[in-house]
């Protein structure tokens, strides 16, 4: 197999693993044996690193609750809830998917969990020589999210903001270099890590969690604050446990964990 073929195979296997991750539970803290009460949490892929730590801290105060977390793109989790998935708590990486569920009567009134900003990531060797946001037009291959994925919508807003300062030609050139649109931010980051893309826009926590990419800040005048919202679902069979978890997510302990991972917590 050629080196290029080996890289392509790695990308396909990584994509398959991420798809499997999106379909089923990805993190289970506290076993479900005995008299422990189960709690199902749906969370976006961008919280894959921080959520297990939050769950572990929550379990120390509530050892009688067995929390199971399923990670996927917010748009996938929304669809699953709309189709009757047995989730007790939903975390969305933007307002639109949570609002749609609230309007449809699928979730209770949402609360803000955290915010973060967006950054550029490039491979460690940075072959395209991208040192600042304005260098994005040097990239030959940019990977982004689809328009239905929160990171894709946020990235589009960043480019629209940039066009007000750098001109529409800059934004047109950047968009012309997008060679792939992915269904969650972890797949976006993976393509940069594997050298399949010269650059991508991701959430700050996703950049901080990888030692295989370089982080390049996005100027404040172009950037956005990504909003992470949380709510218990309307068809909740474990309402009291869900409220305990939501209360913990509003605590100073939760806020400290979120900050350590690059989020600004609500607590």
Check: CB of residue 158 under 8 Å from CB of residue 144.
no
Whether 4 has a pLDDT exceeding 90, the answer reads no
Length of the chain, in residues = 267
pLDDT of residue 16: 40
Query: pLDDT per residue over 206-223, tens digit each?
Result: 999 999 999 999 999 999
Q: Which of 36, 35, 94, 95 shows the shortest CA–CA distance to 68? A: 36
Which pLDDT score, from 0 to 100, does residue 26 have? 41
Spatial CB neighbours of 243, under 8 Å, sequence gap ≥ 6: 232
* Residue 37 pLDDT: 86
pLDDT number for residue 235: 81
pLDDT-derived band of residue 8, with 50, 70 and 90 as boundaries? very low
Q: Given the DSSP bridges, would you call strands 178-182 and 199-203 parallel, antiparallel or unpaired?
A: unpaired
- 18-65 per-position pLDDT tens digit: 444 444 434 443 334 456 789 999 999 999 999 999 999 999 999 999
pLDDT digits (tens, 9 = 90+) for 55-114: 999 999 999 999 999 999 999 999 999 999 999 999 999 999 999 999 999 999 999 999
Predicted confidence band of residue 5 (pLDDT cuts 50, 70, 90): very low
Strand partners, 226: 116
Map the chain to HEC letters.
CCHHHHHHHHHHHHHHHHHHHHHCEEEEECCCCCCCEEEEEEEEHHHCCHHHHHHHHHHHHCCCEEEEEEEECHHHHHHHHHCCCCCCEEEECCHHHHHHHHHCCCECCCEEEEEEEEEEEEECCCCCCCCCHHHHHHCCCEEEECCCCHHHHHHHHHHHHHHHHHCHHHHHHHHHCEEEEECCHHHHHHHHHCCCCCEEEEEHHHHHCCCCEEEEECCCCCCCEEEEEEEEECCCCCHHHHHHHHHHHCCHHHHHHHHHCCCEECC
- Distance between CA atoms of residues 45 and 229, nearest Å: 14
pLDDT digits (tens, 9 = 90+) for 154-207: 999 999 999 999 999 999 999 999 999 999 999 999 999 999 999 999 999 999
Place 266 in a pLDDT band, splitting at 50, 70 and 90: low
pLDDT at site 237: 82
What domains does the chain contain, in order, with CATH numbers? 3-115+227-265 (3.40.190.10), 116-225 (3.40.190.10)
Q: What is the mean pLDDT of residues 142-159?
A: 97
What mean pLDDT is predicted for residues 134-162? 97
């Amino acid at each position: 197999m050629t080196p290029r073929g080996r890289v392509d195979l790695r990308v396909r296997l990584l994509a398959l693993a991420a798809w499997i991750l999106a379909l089923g539970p990805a993190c289970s803290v506290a076993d479900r044996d005995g008299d422990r009460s189960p709690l199902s949490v749906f969370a976006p892929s961008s919280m894959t690193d921080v959520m297990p730590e939050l769950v572990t801290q929550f379990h120390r105060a509530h050892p009688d609750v067995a929390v199971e977390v399923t990670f996927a793109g917010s748009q996938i989790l929304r669809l699953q809830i709309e189709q009757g998935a047995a989730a007790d708590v939903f975390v969305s990486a933007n307002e639109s998917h949570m609002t749609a569920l609230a309007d449809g009567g699928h979730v209770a009134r949402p609360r803000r969990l955290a915010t973060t900003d967006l950054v550029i990531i490039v491979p460690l060797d940075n072959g395209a020589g991208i040192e600042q946001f304005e260098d994005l037009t040097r990239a030959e291959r940019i990977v982004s999210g689809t328009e239905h994925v929160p990171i894709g919508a946020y990235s589009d807003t960043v480019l629209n903001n940039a066009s007000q300062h750098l001109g529409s030609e800059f934004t047109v050139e950047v968009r012309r270099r997008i060679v792939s649109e992915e269904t969650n931010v972890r797949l976006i980051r993976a393509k940069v890590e594997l050298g399949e893309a010269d650059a991508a826009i991701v959430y700050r926590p996703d950049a901080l969690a990888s030692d295989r990419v370089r982080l390049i800040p996005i100027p404040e005048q172009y950037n956005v604050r990504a909003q992470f919202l949380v709510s218990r679902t309307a068809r909740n069979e474990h309402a009291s446990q869900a409220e305990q978890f939501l209360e913990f997510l509003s605590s100073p302990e939760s806020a400290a964990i979120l900050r350590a991972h690059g989020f600004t917590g609500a607590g």
